[in-house]
């Protein structure tokens, strides 16, 4: 697969269109699993949203959402985190979900209707060009999605733009910690051997993510590794990585891919 920005976008759209139409969990088999949600939370959400909406954390809890806040979910998928956020902000709050895949937007709207939720809206759009005005939301959440966008700095600048002064970013994502150095295979080749749509090939390193957040204008940046993957979790395609790296090298490669909680704030 080409790693040009448009080919990445097309591959991601096709991958998630298939998930929306046929089912299955987003990202890889366990790279993004059901992490951080309580049974009580999931019991309140339509099964169709739960089945495909499991990411690499629980950003609605990470964000400490309050009644009356306006929230934006980047890459809202089947609507799981939007529906959870709608409960936390209550009827005086509002939650937007933005997704680039039309089939996901349709599915999320159906799930919101099934749940009888009225304080939500799902919008088609790209993380690099958000369909919301400047300074229009209090909180941005996202679950294993920012790593899928080719231009992450532009996506983070868009997030900064739509946040109100003092607004906060609280997302869960796949981050490489610390980096991809020290292997007998160059980083570019390692990334080509991994899968963009399964949340691996496009993941930033911790230092690159921190630098991008700073460059986008964010302050009070906090990155916390929640869990690390195993060789069974690491999505691969088309390249015999095990032969090149050996069992120990492959384990170390997988270990560097983490589910990370990311918090930051737009200065007031």
What does the pLDDT look like over 111-123, one tens digit per residue? 999 999 999 999 9
pLDDT band at 41 (very low <50, low <70, confident <90, very high): confident
* pLDDT value of residue 33: 46
* pLDDT value of residue 125: 95
> What's 5-265's CATH class?
alpha beta
Which one has a higher pLDDT value, 267 or 30? 267
Which one has a higher pLDDT value, 163 or 200? 163
For the chain, domain boundaries: 5-265
* pLDDT value of residue 1: 42
Per-residue pLDDT tens over the stretch 58-75? 899 999 999 999 999 999
Which one has a higher pLDDT value, 135 or 236? 135
pLDDT of 259 above 70: yes
Which range of 8-12, 52-56, 180-184, 216-220 scores highest in mean pLDDT? It is 216-220
Range in 36-40, 70-74, 88-92, 119-123 with the lowest mean pLDDT = 36-40
pLDDT of 31 above 50: no
What percentage of the chain carries pLDDT values higher than 70?
Answer: 82
pLDDT of 174 above 80: yes
Count how many residues are written for the chain: 268
3-state secondary structure the chain: CCCCHHHHHHHHHHHHHHHHHHCCCCCCCCCCCCCCCCHHHHHCCCHHHHHHCCCCCCHHHHCCCCCCCEEEEECCCCCHHHHHHHHHHCCCCEEEEEECCHHHHHHHHHHHHHHCCCCEEEEECECCECCCCCCCEEEEEEECCHHHCCCHHHHHHHHHHHEEEEEEEEEEEEEECCCCCCCCCCHHHHHHCECCCCCCCCCCEHHHHHHHHHHHCCEEEEEEEEEECCCCCCCECCCCHHHHHHHHHHHHHHHCEEEEEEEEECCC
* pLDDT value of residue 12: 59
pLDDT of 103 above 70: yes
Please state, in angstroms and rounded to a whole number, the distance separating the CA atoms of residues 156 and 215: 9
Prediction pTM value:
0.87
CA angle 161, 175, 256 (to 5 degrees): 165
């Amino acid at each position: 697969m080409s790693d040009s920005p448009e080919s990445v976008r097309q591959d991601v759209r096709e991958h998630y269109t298939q998930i929306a139409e046929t089912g299955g969990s987003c990202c890889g088999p366990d790279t993004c699993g059901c992490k951080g949600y309580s049974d009580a939370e999931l019991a309140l959400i339509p099964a169709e949203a739960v089945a495909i909406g499991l990411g690499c954390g629980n950003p609605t809890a990470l964000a400490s959402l309050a009644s009356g806040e306006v929230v934006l979910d980047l890459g809202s998928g089947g609507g799981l985190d939007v529906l959870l956020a709608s409960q936390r902000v209550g009827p005086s709050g509002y939650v937007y979900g933005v997704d680039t895949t039309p089939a996901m937007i349709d599915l999320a709207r159906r799930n919101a209707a099934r749940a009888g939720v009225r304080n939500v809206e799902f919008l088609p759009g790209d993380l690099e060009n958000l369909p919301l005005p400047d300074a229009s939301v209090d909180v941005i959440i996202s679950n294993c999605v920012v790593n899928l966008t080719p231009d992450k700095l532009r996506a983070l600048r868009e997030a900064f733009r739509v946040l109100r002064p003092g607004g906060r970013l609280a997302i869960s994502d796949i981050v490489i910690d610390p980096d991809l150095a020290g292997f007998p295979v160059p980083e570019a080749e390692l990334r080509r051997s991994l899968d963009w749509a399964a949340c691996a090939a496009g993941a930033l390193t911790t230092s690159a993510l921190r630098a991008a957040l700073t460059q986008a204008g964010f302050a009070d940046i906090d990155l916390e590794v929640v869990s690390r993957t195993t060789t069974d979790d690491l999505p691969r395609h088309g390249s015999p990585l095990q032969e090149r790296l050996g069992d120990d090298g492959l384990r170390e490669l997988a270990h560097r891919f983490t589910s990370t909680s990311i918090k930051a704030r737009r200065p007031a």
